Structure 1
Amino acid sequence: MTLLHRPLPSLLLSTASAGAAATAAALGPLPVWKLSDLYEAKDAPQLKQDMEKASELSLAFEAKWKGKLAEAAASTGAGGIGEALKEYEALDDLLGKIGSFAGLTYFSDTSDPANGKFYGDVQAKLTDLSSHLLFFALELNRIDDAVMNACMDRDPSAGHYRPWIVDLRQDKPFQLDDKLEQLFLEKSMTSAAAFNRLFDETMAELRFEVDGERLNLEPTLNMLQEPRPEARAKAAAALSKTFGDNLRVFTLITNTLAKDKEISDRWRGFEDIADSRHLANRVEREVVDALAAAVQEAYPRLSHRYYAMKAKWLGMDQLNYWDRNAPLPETPNALIPWKDAQNTVLSAYRDFAPEMAEIAGRFFDEDWIDAPARPGKAPGAFAHPTVPSAHPYVLVNYMGKPRDVMTLAHELGHGVHQVLAGEQGALMCQTPLTLAETASVFGEMLTFRALLEKTTDTRERKAMLAQKVEDMINTVVRQIAFYQFERKLHTARKDGELTAEQIGELWLSVQAESLGPAIRISEGYETWWTYIPHFIHSPFYVYAYAFGDCLVNSLYAVYQQAAPGFQQKYFELLKAGGTKHHSELLKPFGLDATDPSFWSKGLSMIEGLIDELEAMDTSA
């Protein structure tokens, strides 16, 4: 299929400018994803037909199986649990396809009221249909363990879904009766889902004034990587002002969602504020606690030490908070064209395994990527798996910075993972978040190492190493600080609603601890918690980044030792999807996340890169 590119629109900034035009020319044509692989349009006849089909099948499934699963567990073949699971999986795929199209359409331009209405209407319809399917998991979990095990042993069609059934039964202690579960599901549309949408639409509408230009979030954040100190300072001031101007709505959203979660956790019987996330990630609380403790203990050796070095490189006693990601003087200033970014990532993937590059190449060739930064588009980057019957999509906001190339490598790693795991089918393809970051971070590491090996200039090598260290600090130290902020916030919220000032104080306390004395945290930074989407969409998600980075550091060390059959083992890990626990997946590599020394090994790689930078300083 021919790749159809669209040029970066002049609406990169809300006012047309020569700078935007120059950026567009430098980056070259940027692709926009082709959502017609799902449906042609919001009013496509096929979408309408699939909505009607989903409604009919959901009602028919409920009528056929509700109240009869215990009897079905005693049957084999027709009328058995295996048949029910196959029908349920097909329905899950169909509903997922519809929901994915609505979500991706919305995130393409969250400022378009028509997109908002479409997304809201589809979500409401899917929630209604899901209420007819809710009984299935609840009823399955009420079947006695011995009966269910015998059923899976006896019936191959049911045994095929054993990993999903075993996984599902971990939720059993926390499930409520059917009526309450239905109430929670239906009320989610007017509680958590509504406030998530309010956050997204508020963020999309925000504008940040810099030198008379009104920018949206991505270009403003991008200015924090500008080489000119005054540009970074102006961007930071604009961000702080707009965040401050909208503090009231972000405080309301945060308080409401924290309370909503507390109510849900209390009814379900979760002991710790993060236990529901640990359960969803299929990771033990003790493992996450060990990770967080190891990272916090390493703050002085990692972030504190590195930022002190960076302040010296930039000729400052202390870095301002907006200088944290400032480029070094050695960093090349030229923008990286999209085509160069594509070739860089695919080449690194190909050197590791041709199959990996072949899968990633399809994202470019078949228009599965949306790259331009434009007003209304969702900020940041993500890879959406959609459903196994379709294919994943990747969203980035490509601005031509070296970090954008690494973001592309990261999201394509997710995409490759999602393609491979899709072979497990709709019920078993979803990977827990802790392992979902493995392929993305590994893809980044491959790209970084490939670039570093080709760099012979000492100054450029230093800039590359420094940027990689910063990215790893952002992934590990910063995300664990985020996790600790969430823990403090959700704990404090139990005692009553929090003011914006109280939330800001919690934010500054973890930032000061994690960043260290070399970063000057001044007025304005207390509002920067407002724009982090993970706090809103996926509470306590953030530790998964640190988990994935440390895991990949250990995994990459095994790869560097030329372990026999590494690539094959790696692909088996990705293909497993959600069918295996992290301990089972890491065992072939000789790794164990429950080992107290595991996290220290991962963190030692970051420390080693800082050592290398310090040695370069000494020899200069």
Structure 2
Amino acid sequence: MFSLDHFKYNTQNQTASGTSNNEDLPSWDLSDLYPSPDSPELKNDLEKAHLKVEAFAANWQGNLREASGQELSMAIDLYQEISEILGRVGSYAQLMFATDSTDAKVAQFYQYINEQITNISSGTLFFTLELNRISEEELQAKLSNEALLSWKPFLDSIRVFKSYQLNDEIEKVLHEKSVTGRTAWSRLYDETLASMQVTVQDEKVTLGEALNKLSSADRQMRENSAKGLGESFNGNIRLFSLITNTLAKDKHITDEWRKFPRVDSERNCDNMIEDEVVDALVNAVTQDYQRLSHRYFTLKAKWLGLDKLQHWDRNAPLPDDTDQTIPWEQAKEIVHTAYNEFNPDMGSMIKQFLDQPWIDATLRPGKSSGAFAHPTVPDVHPYILLNYHGRNRDVMTLAHELGHGIHQILAAKQGYIQSNTPLTLAETASVFGEMLTFQSLLRSQKTPEQRRIMLSRKVEDMLNTVVRQIAFYQFERKVHEARQTNELLPDEIGNFWMETQQASLGPAFEFTPEYKSYWTYIPHFIHSPFYVYAYAFGDCLVNALYKVYQDGHENFQEKYIEMLQAGGTKKHKELLAPFGLDASDPAFWRKGLDVISQFIDELEQA
């Protein structure tokens, strides 16, 4: 049934898609998943999943309501086994595509695997739908079985969507058409970005290189890069607007069928977080724009000797900040030391990532311009992708993604379907890892000037994580709410972007016309609508959590590791309770934002 014969690859290239001129940077080796795209192991897994799904549907479809607690537990065990096989295959294809989405054969393989997974998994679609048709009383009776009780977090994560699910036929159509709908549009977006060439000072560079130049100490270089990016984004503006309009309308149609009350309701349900908690976060950050970003960027304009900052000055280094290139080996040592000082067990996990071919940091055309940690499956380690240019921010990105990696390894004990953490908590370990690395570096600074530079870098990272991401969230809300009635012109989308950016960054900035198209390169808008507030949630949470650690909270390290090990088995209230924190309390967000404000206070006094 599954023919992989036409996917032939040279297996010696599996560690890197394309050649790299960055010999000192690592490329990952995906053979821990599969030897090659045309390997018998991969083909066998697809066939195995297909047979298991057929048996699964024959045994359980229509029978879940009458099943005992023990029987229902056995069904979930098998569902997890099938999901894990498909997760392994899907991870392999996705990771290959991330390293070179411009390779036609890689893109073809990626699409083929997506279609196969969608076809196979449609046979299990009945399972979660039928679980939600079991009444609360019946389910509570079944949960008296100890084996089923261990699956309660999974059942809770399914039943949060109970009131929004449609009938089986509609759900099946939505599922099967996803490969020609959202997935196809997302792939078009990724391939367009990956193949984009930006002209900077008469030189053609990749999108990632051009974005990196926005952090150059040379203001003319920053301006040229910004204008080159604007030209490239505007050259594709009709396509990006079409993709955005199509996906926003597609989401609106589905949301209306499901009767979600808000444009972000599906994301909030998926994150197992109440709408009022999201609103409290967004309102707290918005009310603090002046105290945080407006105040800091007024300082930065003064430091740079400018009356007004242009948008290409946002990430400019300070005049005394040489931001010397940090070799990869030194970056590894910096991050490993920070984690090891906090907890030697975590230091050992970091070392394993850094010693094994689990990280792809090499710069190459066609590679994804962002960074991520992909958890794959519990019996295989996560993989980390980043583009290492040797800047301080790249070291922090390494610390961030390794935090994700540690979280994913620790949570793997919960099994494939319960190890996955809601986005709001998934950012905790990554942002905490950044904070550990920052504090370790801050302690090593020998002069007040070095400390000021370190603090300014951290404040900018925090503003990017908190203020910028909440502005992104507000932009998304404007786009999705407006798209419910009419298709949006590129100019209208650009106006929403400019409104939210001006409000968040403040009066220290001027925005030239090309900035109106800069929304186009943010992949979260396409792949994961309303993902972005999770970054702000994670940063504020970590600020509050780190303060608890600094205050000498008893057994903090042990409790922190237990929190990460919980994966998706606990909600945010349960996870934060051992530290005396509560995200539903408005004062919680003030604690996190106060940390940023206090750093700015110190910079004002320097």
Q: TM-score, normalised by structure 2?
A: 0.96
1:69 corresponds to 2:47: no
Match of 2:390 in 1: 400
Question: Residues 134, 212 of structure 1: CA spacing in aligned structure 2 closer, same or farther, 3 A cutoff?
Answer: same
Alignment of 1:126-165 (within 5 A): 126-153=117-144, 155-165=145-155
1:458 Cα deviation (Å)?
2.0
- 5 Å-filtered alignment, 1:340-489, equals 340-489=330-479
Secondary structure at the residue paired with 1:332?
coil
Q: 1:7 to 1:128 in 2, by over 3 A?
A: closer
Segment drifting more, 268-277 vs 144-153: 144-153
Change (3 A) 1:347 1:71: same
Q: Is the 8 A contact 1:11 1:375 kept in 2?
A: no
Distance 2:90 2:271 in 1: 22
Structure 1 residue 499 displacement after superposition: 0.4
Q: Does 1:224 align with 2:214?
A: yes
Matched, 1:53 2:43: no
Tell me what 1:15 maps to.
none
Q: Unpaired runs of 5+ in structure 1?
A: 13-20
| Letter in structure 1 aligned against 2:49 | A
**Alpha-carbon separation, structure 2, partners of 1:389 and 1:64:** 27
Question: Match for residue 208 of structure 1?
Answer: 198
Residues 417-446 of structure 1: per-residue CA shift (max 9 Å, x gap)? 000011100110010000000000000000
Please state whether the residue corresponding to 2:481 is helix, strand or coil: helix
Identity across the alignment (%)? 51
- 1:573 paired residue number: 563
Q: What is the match of residue 108 of structure 1?
A: 99
Output the CA distance in 2 between the equivalents of 1:200 and 1:161.
36
- Separation of aligned partners in 2, 1:530 and 1:481: 15
Runs of at least 4 residues off by over 2 Å: 4-12
1:302-353, CA deviations, whole angstroms, 9 ceiling, x for partnerless residues? Answer: 1111001000001000111100000012212421000100010010000000
Change (3 A) 1:82 1:304: same
Whether 2:86 is the aligned partner of 1:92: answer no
Alpha-carbon distance in structure 2 between the residues aligned to 1:71 and 1:428: 24
Query: Which amino acid counterpart does residue 103 of structure 2 have in structure 1?
Result: D
**Counterpart AA for 1:54:** A
Question: Unpaired segments of 5 or more residues in structure 2?
Answer: 1-11
Residues of 2 paired with 1:109 and 1:457: CA distance? 44
Letter in 2 for 1:279: C
Q: What SS does the aligned partner of 2:419 have? A: coil
Name the counterpart of 1:32.
27
Alpha-carbon contact 1:32-1:370 (below 8 Å) kept: yes
Partner of 1:256: 246
Hey, what does 1:595 align to over in structure 2? 585
Q: CA deviation at 1:5?
A: 13
Q: Secondary structure at the match of 1:31?
A: coil
**2:186 is matched by which residue type in structure 1?**
N
Task: Provide the residue aligned with 1:278 in structure 2.
Answer: 268
Distance 1:66 1:374 in 2: 47
Partner of 1:17: none
Which residue pairs with 1:18 in the alignment? none
Alpha-carbon separation, structure 2, partners of 1:266 and 1:571: 41
Deviation at 1:462, TM superposition (A): 1.1
**Distance across 1 between alignment mates of 2:197 and 2:452:** 35
The answer as to whether partners of 2:400 and 2:431 remain within 8 angstroms in 1 is yes
- Please say if 1:183 is aligned against 2:173: yes
Q: Is the 8 A contact 1:330 1:462 kept in 2?
A: no
- Say whether 1:614 aligns with 2:604: yes
Counterpart CA distance in 2 for 1:136 and 1:161 is 14
1:323 aligns to what? 313
How does the TM-score come out when normalised to structure 1? Answer: 0.94
Paired with 1:368 and 1:8, the residues of 2 have a C-alpha distance of 12
The residue type paired with residue 43 of structure 1 is D
> Aligned partners of 1:333 and 1:7: how far apart in 2?
30
Where does residue 122 of structure 1 map in the other structure?
A: 113
Contact 1:290/1:596 (<8 A) preserved: yes
Q: Distance in 2 between matches of 1:42 and 1:104?
A: 12
CA apart distance, 1:456: 1.1
Q: Give yes or no for the alignment of 1:509 onto 2:466.
A: no
Q: Check conservation: 2:16, 2:99, Cα contact below 8 A.
A: no
TM-aligned CA deviation for residue 211 of structure 1 = 2.1
3-state SS, counterpart of residue 241 of structure 2: helix
| Contact persistence 2:157–2:270 (CA under 8 A) | no
Question: In the aligned structure 2, how far is the partner of 1:257 from the partner of 1:439?
Answer: 31
Per-residue deviation, 1:11: 7.2
**Aligned partner of 1:41: which letter?**
S
Q: Letter of the 2:135 partner, please give it.
A: D
Q: Is the 8 A contact 1:164 1:428 kept in 2?
A: yes
Q: 1:170 to 1:6 in 2, by over 3 A?
A: closer
1:518 aligns with 2:518: no
> Using the alignment, how far apart are the partners of 1:184 and 1:227 within structure 2?
49
> In structure 2, how many angstroms separate the alpha carbons of the residues matched to 1:157 and 1:215?
56
Instruction: Describe the shift of the 1:555–1:491 C-alpha distance in structure 2 as closer, same or farther (beyond 3 A).
Output: same
Contact 2:17 2:99 in 1 (8 A): no
Change over 3 Å in CA distance of 1:305–1:7 after alignment to 2: farther
Match in the other structure for 1:307: 297
273-282 or 365-374, which moves further after superposition?
Answer: 365-374
Is the CA contact 1:336–1:400 (under 8 Å) kept in the aligned structure 2? yes
Contact 1:8 1:30 in 2 (8 A): no
Asked if structure 1 preserves the Cα contact closer than 8 Å seen for 2:338 and 2:436, the reply is: yes
